Structure 1
Amino acid sequence: MVEGINVEVHRDYKYTIDVSKGILDKLERYRNLFFRYEKVVIITDENVAPLYLKKVERQIEKFGCKTQEIIIPPGESSKSLSMAEEIYHHFSEYNLTRSDAVIALGGGVVGDLAGFCASTYLRGVDFIQIPTTLLAQVDSSIGGKVGVNLTKGKNLVGSFYQPKSVIVDPRSLKTLKDRIFNDGMAEVIKYGCIYDKTLFNKLYQSTAEELTKDLENTIATCCSIKKEVIEEDERETGLRKILNFGHTLGHVLETYFNYQKYTHGEAVAIGMYHITVKSEKKGITKYGTSDKIKEILIKNGLPYTMPYLEQEKIEEILFRDKKFSGDKITLVLLKEIGESVLYSMDKNQLVEFII
């Protein structure tokens, strides 16, 4: 087991991220956590439910905590206001109170949606993350960003709402299809690019077998990086913006193709490479950095080439990005691998980087 990572978001709010193989079979270690609640509502999707739902329910019920379940369709289309409304109705049927809790059991969509519903129902119900995909384990389950999409853009409705605990079992990744695992590797690579050259070099140099054996430590490294960032900047007013490397363009690609063509990680992968090619040409990034990113993306089964996009439609999506402040947006670029830099630019300058 990787020793629990204690996250102190601010002086009055702390929680632990536990990364441990087989932890989903050992939830008795969370007896004191679940004893607080009369009941929990577990939100999961149709892919994850047959694998883990009953196992989790049985263990929690041993503590005298009643369980209810909500199973949603998999995929980004479930991260919507209409699905949130449906979940609120279930909460009401189950008589969920502030003395109860919500568990997100699944990937990033489940975590974002369940967290958003927990943050808004009764003005806030306790929330626990049990992520089962690599992307959720290293990124979306940590830091308190929760929300849903609108047809006009990704994550346009949401809040900051920290979980009470994050429980990470790397063994759950064995059931993932290659594409979904690779989706998460894009976020792992991102951490190496923006913050940790040693992590990037390990990913760059290691064989697939070596990375698999060391996956628990890799996940813990990513969690530790995000912990450091959110402790300094929970609300994304400064340092936390570096976590958006590749995401400005990535969100455009996801929305442009209505979440059908690319997974989140695939879109971010293209964004990281494309932005770095542009920043190299402008002399911001050390020459050769984009080639390293390209090689590591190929090694991990991720795309890097930009598809054809209509400029008018790109701008329509791009200029609704929630990261805009007035006419300015902060774009994350690299000086070199392991060192990121924030650039404030107007819409015209941004278009030069994106298109």
Structure 2
Amino acid sequence: MKGTVMTRIHINASTPYDVVIEEGALQRITDYIKPLKPNCRVIIVSDSNVAPHYLDSVKANMEHAGYTVCDYVFPAGESSKNAHQLIDLVEYMAAQSLTRKDLLIALGGGVVGDMAGFAAATYLRGIDYVQVPTSLLAAVDSSVGGKTAVNLEAGKNLWGAFKQPILVLCDPTTLNTLPDMEWKNGCGEIIKYGFLDVPGLLTQLEHKPLIKHRDSVSAVIARCVQAKADIVEQDERESGVRALLNLGHTFGHGIEKASHFEVHHGYAVAIGMVLMAQGAVKHGELDAAALEKLKALIEAHDLPTTTTITKKEILAAAKHDKKSEGATIKIVVPTSYGHSELKVVTHEELATYLD
């Protein structure tokens, strides 16, 4: 019977917590929350895409278990992940008289998780929150690790905070309502993990591209979460090795911003990985055959490998990147098929990776 197979991955961070991956878990959400957070006021934060599918049932389950529940739903899309929407959310939380003992549930994809997580990090200097990722990208990446942020006019994720959730509850059946675009979006981040010393994942994706073999999604999510857990436990605040998780992001974020977020995150990361890999080949850091294998794997997941965004636009965005420190920037360079390394370069040197 579905729902009986459960994977639990422990994240040993400043606030330790579990990531639970189980089909049907959303129907039993209170079984997981009750031991961590007895009856209190709860705000469920979701967006206009996710709320029609799951908000009513989650709300009913929580109320049936004795929680007092309110909800906040905002327009779906990366363009909503901004300061104005965040402040509106926090004002609503205050109007509901939520206290430090109360709970926020982030029900949605990466945008919901980022926005709700940042609100939880800063409202009353911090309240507990639970991540319930309903997109593939959020399940494999953004719901885990405690990075929360919103976008500013100058760039992506520039205003944020580290705030670990008390639980991540991933129900893979929620992915069944995703459009194909969102599956591909998640695959961009999944392929990234394959280049962070998880080469077995690359082999699996080569033989069974996830976009066509969706029945293996629970195992792939678990593999990515474990890889991220291993990195976060070494470097929670991204002062060192955690920056490896930004493979493809330096150029990818520039593509997102220059396209006004019409190019989705996972798509932009896929392109960003190829651009960085092409630069690494030119710099003698990566074998050309590895680049071709990467491009073939990305194309097998129906993701792009090129962009019409100009070099100038991508580099302009990189100057506002969080990894930029004055005249230098920390980049992630693939150096073999399945392995990447951190490197600090000047912005002039970064430009040579796009020549």
TM bucket (normalised to shorter chain) is over 0.9
Secondary structure (helix, strand or coil) at the match of 1:278 reads helix
Partner of residue 354, structure 1:
354
The alpha-carbon deviation at position 36 of structure 1 amounts to 2.6
- Tell me the CA shift for residue 296 of structure 1: 1.0
Aligned mates of 1:43, 1:221 — CA distance in 2: 27
Tell me how far apart the structure 1 counterparts of residues 213 and 240 of structure 2 sit (CA, whole Å).
Answer: 32
Answer yes or no: is the 8 Å Cα contact 2:30–2:61 preserved in 1: yes
**Number of the residue aligned with 2:9:** 5
Question: Following TM superposition, by how much is the alpha carbon of 1:207 offset from its aligned partner in structure 2, in angstroms?
Answer: 5.1
SS of alignment partner, residue 324 of structure 2: coil
Who is 2:295 aligned against? Answer: 294
Offset of 1:37 from its aligned partner? 4.2
Cα offset, 1:288, TM superposition: 0.9
Q: Partner of 2:336 in structure 1?
A: 336
Query: In structure 1, what is the Cα distance between the partners aligned to 2:144 and 2:211?
Result: 27
Q: Output the CA distance in 1 between the equivalents of 2:329 and 2:200.
A: 29
Equivalent position amino acid for 1:315 in 2:
L
CA distance in 1, matches of 2:108, 2:256: 20
Greater alpha carbon shift after TM alignment, 344-353 vs 26-35: 26-35
- Please tell me whether the aligned partners of residues 2 and 216 of structure 1 are also in contact (alpha carbons under 8 angstroms): no
Q: Which stretch has the larger CA shift, 30-39 or 266-275? A: 30-39
Contact 2:188-2:267 at 8 Å conserved across structures:
yes
| 1:284 maps onto 2:285 in alignment | yes
**How far is the alpha carbon of 1:291 from its aligned partner?**
0.8
> Quick one: which amino acid aligns to residue 101 of structure 1?
L
- Counterpart amino acid of residue 353 in structure 1: Y
Larger displacement relative to structure 2 (204-213 or 248-257): 204-213
What is the Cα deviation at residue 49 of structure 1?
Answer: 0.6
- Paired with 1:277 and 1:172, the residues of 2 have a C-alpha distance of 36
Structure 1 portions without partners, runs of 5+: none
Paired position in structure 1 for 2:111 = 109
Q: In the alignment, residue 248 of structure 2 is paired with which amino acid?
A: G
Letter in 2 for 1:55: S
What's the CA shift for 1:29?
2.1
Letter in 2 for 1:284: E
2:247 aligned partner: 245
SS in 1 for 2:218: helix
Aligned counterpart, 2:257: 255
- In structure 1, C-alpha distance between the alignment counterparts of 2:35 and 2:254, rounded to whole Å: 39
Question: How many pairs does the alignment contain?
Answer: 351
What amino acid is aligned across from residue 287 of structure 2 in structure 1?
A: K
Residue 158 of structure 2 corresponds to which residue in structure 1?
156
Aligned to 2:270: 269
Q: How big is the shift at 1:324?
A: 1.2
- The 5 Å alignment of 1:1-355 reads 1-10=5-14, 13-33=15-35, 35-206=37-208, 211-260=213-262, 262-309=263-310, 311=312, 313-355=313-355
Q: Deviations over 1:72-106 (max 9, x none)?
A: 00001110110011101110111010010111000
Q: Deviations over 1:147-178 (max 9, x none)?
A: 10011100010010000100001111111110
Bigger mean CA offset, 56-65 vs 182-191: 56-65
Contact between 2:331 and 2:342, CA under 8 Å: does it hold in 1? yes
Task: Provide closer, same or farther for how the CA distance between residues 34 and 71 of structure 1 changes in structure 2, counting only shifts above 3 A.
Answer: farther
- Alpha-carbon distance in structure 2 between the residues aligned to 1:160 and 1:34: 20
| Whole-angstrom CA distance in 2 between matches of 1:182 and 1:266 | 7
Q: Secondary structure of the residue that 2:206 maps to in structure 1?
A: helix
Deviations 1:277-330 (A, max 9, x none): 11012110123111111111111110001314162x433322111111222111
SS at match of 2:169: strand
Q: Is the contact made by 2:184 and 2:303 (CA closer than 8 Å) also made in structure 1?
A: yes
RMSD over equivalenced CA pairs, Å:
1.4
